Each structure stands twice: as C-alpha cells, then as structure tokens.
Amino acid sequence: MRKAMNWNKSILIYGIVLLLLLQCASYFLLHQDTDSLLLHLFLILLILLTLWRGTVFGLISSLLFIFVSGSMLLYISFVGSIAYFNVTLPMNVFFIYGVALLLNILCAGKVHELLVEQARYIHLLQQDIQNYVAIDVETGFENEARMRISVNEEMRRADRHKHTFVFIALKIENYEQFQTLYGIKEAHFLWQQLAQRIQETVRQTDKKYRFRDNYVGLLLIDTTEEYIGIIYDKLDQALRNHQLLNEKWVTLNYKTSYFTYQPLMNETFDELLVELEREMKTSEL
C-alpha cells in the first residue's frame, strides 16, 4: 500500500512539472508567428507519443525532429528562403525550443515509466489475491492455484506411499452461449446446482476444483482406473439435466477426460493437464 501511495505521489509531482513546462512552452510559442504554432503542435504530439510509448521512443522521435527541423532552419538561414516555405524563426529561439522539448519528453517519459510500474504492481497484487483467495465463490470449490498445489502434493504423497489416484476434468460445452442466452444470474445458479450435485455424487474426502471458468477438476484419492466407468455413470445422471430458475429443464453437454497417477510417473501435472485437454476434444461424458 505504501509503495502504491509513493507511486501516486511521484506521478502527481511529475505530472505537475510536465504541465508547468508545457504551459511555459505554450505561452511562449503561442505568442509568436505561425511557425511557432506549428512547433507547438509538434511539441504536444511528441509528449503524447512519449506518454504512450515511453522515454526511448519519445527521445528518438524528438531528436530526429530537432535534427530535421534544425537542418532546414540552418539551410534557410544561408540561402534565404525556399519557395512556398518562408521561415522567420531565429536559430537561438529554436535552440531554446529544443531544450524545452527534451525536458518535456524526459518528464513525460518518467510519468510513463511510473504508470507502467504501477500497472505491473497492481497486476501482481491481483495475482496474489487470486492465489490467496482459494475458494471459488459460486461453487465453494478450490480455485486453479489451489488445485495445482494440492495435486502436486498428492503426487508426492503417492510417490512416498506407493498408491494411485485419479484426476478427472470436466468441461461444460457452450458455456459462453449459456451465459449469453440466460444471463449471469442463471449461470451463477447453474454453478450452485452443479456444485451441490457433485458434492452428493463423489466422496467427501475427494477434492473438487473449478478452473478456467467452465472447467471442474475432481481429485479422487485412493481410486483406481477400474472405477472410472461407475464414476462417469453417476456424474452423467447427476449433471446431464439442469432446471433453470424459471423451472424449465435444459440438457447440458460435457467434455471429459482423466488420468490415473501411478507412483514415480515422469510427467508433471502441467503436462498431464495439457494431455487431458487434448483428449477432451474427442471424449464426452
């Protein structure tokens, strides 16, 4: 929290300095001729580009602009004027303009850096919150972060005690269309009902997870592959039909897959999960 407050304070300070520098440059340039008005427009444009892309991009663009503009002014000062392009801006004024431009760019670049760092810090905080808040609100199941921790712990325990377990992944088909058609309230009710039926179908000692919006993971401890058919039949009977809030019934479709963990398997959970998702394309509950 203190770090975020320091960032806000720094952004405010550099923002005020940037506004003061821009105001001074604008006051000077807007009281000159049309050439100065054009330089003022380029000044604002380069500041906006720096706020968008950062200090390096702003400095490169500014130095390139100063080099091109300065070369043109220097050439005109020697040869007089170019047809259709009469410039009356003195070189000493342009030098002051170049210094003011670079100061504005450096200040705008600092504001950009602080904003990027603050956004990155907020993103990290959001990830930490997701990791610490382990329970999904709609289902009461543990979230994906807790799922990875729990399954990896169970894999290590299986390696030590030489036992097997089964992990089942269920994916609700056309979940986005369900949300669009029936709304958020109905989707929330759907997950409540699914969670209740899953709790009634599997053992209390089995662990349940919700991940990636429309996925459910079931960690069936001390379970072998021979019981998968029975488990699938029970899940199919419990989850196939769903009653909406308006008391109408809909049929839900699922994709599913599973793996049976044997002690000292070489694959990691991430690799096994990728394989499950690949198999889901052809397997239905």
Rounded Cα–Cα distance for residues 271 and 269 (Å): 5
229 and 192 in a common domain: yes
User: Looking at residues 194-208, what average pLDDT do you find?
Assistant: 92
Rounded Cα–Cα distance for residues 106 and 102 (Å): 6
Task: Flag whether 138 is in a domain.
Answer: no
- For residue 281, the model assigns a pLDDT of 63
Average the pLDDT over each of 31-35, 107-111, 138-142, 210-214 and give the range with the smallest value. 31-35
| CA terminus-to-terminus distance, the chain | 47
pLDDT-derived band of residue 280, with 50, 70 and 90 as boundaries?
confident
- For residue 79, the model assigns a pLDDT of 66
100 and 8 in a common domain: yes
Task: Flag whether 137 is in a domain.
Answer: no
Amino acid (one-letter) located at 147: M
Task: Flag whether 231 is in a domain.
Answer: yes
Amino acid (one-letter) located at 104: N
Q: What angle do CA 278, 197, 253 make, to 5 degrees?
A: 40
270 and 154 in a common domain: yes
Whether the predicted pLDDT of 156 surpasses 50: yes
User: Looking at residues 101-126, what average pLDDT do you find?
Assistant: 86
pLDDT-derived band of residue 227, with 50, 70 and 90 as boundaries?
confident
226 and 127 in a common domain: no
Encoding tokens for residue 251?
């049929």
Q: Quick one: which of 41, 211, 52 has its CA closest to 135?
A: 211
Whether the predicted pLDDT of 128 surpasses 80: no
Encoding tokens for residue 271?
């690799």
Domain range for 195: 144-279
195 and 121 in a common domain: no
User: Looking at residues 131-135, what average pLDDT do you find?
Assistant: 70
User: Looking at residues 69-74, what average pLDDT do you find?
Assistant: 77
Mean pLDDT of the chain: 83
275 and 174 in a common domain: yes
* Residue 36 neighbours by CB distance under 10 Å: 19
pLDDT-derived band of residue 198, with 50, 70 and 90 as boundaries?
very high
Of 132, 158, 184, which residue is a domain's last? 132
186 and 273 in a common domain: yes
42 and 105 in a common domain: yes
Average the pLDDT over each of 27-36, 163-172, 222-231, 238-247 and give the range with the smallest value. 27-36
Number of domains in the chain: 2
Whether the predicted pLDDT of 84 surpasses 60: no
- For residue 75, the model assigns a pLDDT of 73
148 and 83 in a common domain: no
Of 82, 98, 132, which residue is a domain's last? 132
User: Looking at residues 79-108, what average pLDDT do you find?
Assistant: 71
Task: Flag whether 284 is in a domain.
Answer: no
Higher pLDDT, 71 or 189: 189
pLDDT-derived band of residue 187, with 50, 70 and 90 as boundaries?
very high
273 and 149 in a common domain: yes
CATH of the domain at 250: 3.30.70.270
pLDDT-derived band of residue 218, with 50, 70 and 90 as boundaries?
very high
Rounded Cα–Cα distance for residues 26 and 44 (Å): 9
Average the pLDDT over each of 5-14, 135-144, 198-207, 257-266 and give the range with the smallest value. 5-14
227 and 127 in a common domain: no
Count helices and strands (H / E) in the chain: 9, 6
The most confident of 42-56, 62-76, 133-147, 248-262, by mean pLDDT = 248-262
